[in-house]
């Protein structure tokens, strides 16, 4: 194999020299040649994405609301909608359908449009926030602009708010807007949402981008099994689900799975 590579390299070098191609041009030649030959670089294997635990998630949202009503609602929408920071900052009042409980991401990654379902409680909070407004940015920054237009949040500012809230909530792991998206994706899969539906929710073009969350979710569900299937665990989760709803009940199951103590 070594001799073959050396001979091939010598032949290619002879062609490149004869054609008088410089380094940049040779890069373009090799790229086009690989494309025509149907050669693609192997995808890198990624580890499980970081996410917030249920305890951290609740502390994060509580701290966000403690920082201010709008800050709390912003962080809750960012988390529960699974939007990217750039998609979140572009949201407008016109993108929210309170009756259908839908958030329309008009300019997703690659310019694609998608619709995201939200919980009825979040829709109620958004209704109070929107009030009688019919148009304009969903969240208006308090920083005024010289031209008098409604100031909108930037991706950088959203990232700063996420970090500030996390720090004040005592969350030590590195937190950034996309980690909230990871958290929601993993949670939806743990709740039983089909992976193709999660793919649509997140706006992933390639299903392989969503599968990494499924692998994390499977590991999480395996850890739950021994704890949740015990009678005491089942009774506790049913009680929480009846009182606070199925979503909170599933969150409680996640928290319970992290408790390795014997429940009997």
Please write down the HEC assignment for all residues of 28-62. HHHHHHHHHCCCCCCCCCCCCCCCCCHHHHHHHHH
Q: How much is the pTM?
A: 0.61
Residue 264, domain member (yes or no): no
Q: How far apart are CA 25 and CA 234, in angstroms?
A: 65
Q: The domain spanning residue 220 has which CATH number?
A: 1.10.443.10
Q: How far apart are CA 157 and CA 86, in angstroms?
A: 11
Q: Identify whether residues 25 and 70 lie together within a single domain.
A: no
Whether the pLDDT of residue 45 is over 80: the answer is no
**Residue 109 falls in the annotated catalytic set:** yes
Number of compact structural domains in the chain: 2
Residue 165, domain member (yes or no): yes
Catalytic residue among 157, 178, 211, 223: 178
Q: How far apart are CA 178 and CA 263, in angstroms?
A: 35
Q: Give the list of residues 6+ apart from residue 229 with CB closer than 8 angstroms, or none.
A: none
Whether the pLDDT of residue 211 is over 90: the answer is no
Q: How far apart are CA 29 and CA 40, in angstroms?
A: 15
Q: How far apart are CA 166 and CA 247, in angstroms?
A: 23
**Residue 129 falls in the annotated catalytic set:** no
Catalytic residue among 92, 109, 163, 211: 109
**Residue 107 falls in the annotated catalytic set:** no
Q: Model confidence at 68, in pLDDT bands (50, 70, 90)?
A: very high
**Residue 204 falls in the annotated catalytic set:** yes
User: CA angle, 51 as apex, 168 and 68 as ends, to 5°?
Assistant: 30
Catalytic residue among 181, 182, 187, 224: 181
Q: Identify whether residues 18 and 95 lie together within a single domain.
A: no
**Residue 121 falls in the annotated catalytic set:** no
Q: Identify whether residues 58 and 181 lie together within a single domain.
A: yes
Q: Identify whether residues 29 and 72 lie together within a single domain.
A: no
**Residue 84 falls in the annotated catalytic set:** yes
Q: How far apart are CA 59 and CA 171, in angstroms?
A: 8
Q: Which is more confidently placed, 170 or 151?
A: 170
Q: Identify whether residues 70 and 19 lie together within a single domain.
A: no
Residue 212, domain member (yes or no): yes
Catalytic residue among 51, 84, 187, 224: 84
pLDDT in tens, 214-229: 666 555 555 555 555 5
Domain extent for 173: 54-257
């Amino acid at each position: 194999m070594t001799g073959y590579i050396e001979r091939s390299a010598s032949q290619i070098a002879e062609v490149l020299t004869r054609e008088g191609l410089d380094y940049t041009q040779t890069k373009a030649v090799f790229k086009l040649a690989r494309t025509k030959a149907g050669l693609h670089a192997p995808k890198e294997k990624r580890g499980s994405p970081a996410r917030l635990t249920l305890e951290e998630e609740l502390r994060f949202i509580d701290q966000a609301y403690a920082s201010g009503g709008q800050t709390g609602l912003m962080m809750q929408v960012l988390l529960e909608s699974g939007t990217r920071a750039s998609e979140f900052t572009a949201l407008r009042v016109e993108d929210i359908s309170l009756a259908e409980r839908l958030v329309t991401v008009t300019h997703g990654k690659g310019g694609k449009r998608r619709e995201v379902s939200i919980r009825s409680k979040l829709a109620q909070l958004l209704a109070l926030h929107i009030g009688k407004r019919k148009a304009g940015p969903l969240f208006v920054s308090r920083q005024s602009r010289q031209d008098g237009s409604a100031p909108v949040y930037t991706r950088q500012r959203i990232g700063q708010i996420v970090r500030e809230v996390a720090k004040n909530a005592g969350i030590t792991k590195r937190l950034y807007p996309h980690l909230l998206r990871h958290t929601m994706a993993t949670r939806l899969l743990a709740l039983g949402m089909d992976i193709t539906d999660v793919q649509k929710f997140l706006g992933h073009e390639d299903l392989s981008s969503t599968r990494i969350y499924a692998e994390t979710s499977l590991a999480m569900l395996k850890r739950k099994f021994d704890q949740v299937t015990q009678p005491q665990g089942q009774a506790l989760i049913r009680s929480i689900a009846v009182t606070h709803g199925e979503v909170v009940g599933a969150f409680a199951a996640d928290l319970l799975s992290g408790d390795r103590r014997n429940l009997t």
